[in-house]
Amino acid sequence: MFFGKGSLEEFDALFDMGRSLVERQQVHGVAVESEFDVCGFDRWRRKAIDLLFSHGGCDDLNYRRFSQEVVTPNVRSLEQGLRIIAAARDDVERAKLSNEVVGSVDQKGFKRPSVSYH
């Protein structure tokens, strides 16, 4: 899995974009499907597919779930996509943290103490 420099920011921006589409389609918490922004959904979905593919390839679970489950332009599908995007972001964050921990191990296999360690 490849994790670029701006990975978390890309996932955050995509999540915010999807969240704004959901919020625009709700009146007092009830979804209004008749006014759904299909074009906005398609743009968001295309960006999400591209981002998930670039981070995990076609065998990635999040990519496959998103491709199969987020197909219909409606609020329910969009919310499912947001859950998948959030899970993928968590995976990226966890992988980055584990890479940082591995990078901080010295030659004897001990972790370096953090800067705040006394």
For residue 71 the two structure tokens come to 């197909």
On the question of pLDDT at 79 being above 90, the answer is yes
Whether the CB-CB separation of 14 and 48 falls below 8 Å is answered with: yes
8-65 per-position pLDDT tens digit: 999 999 999 999 988 776 555 555 555 778 999 999 999 999 999 998 899 999 999 9
Domain boundaries, the chain: 7-100
Considering the entire predicted model, what is its pTM? 0.74
CA dist 27 and 10 (Å) reads 28
CA dist 56 and 2 (Å) reads 7
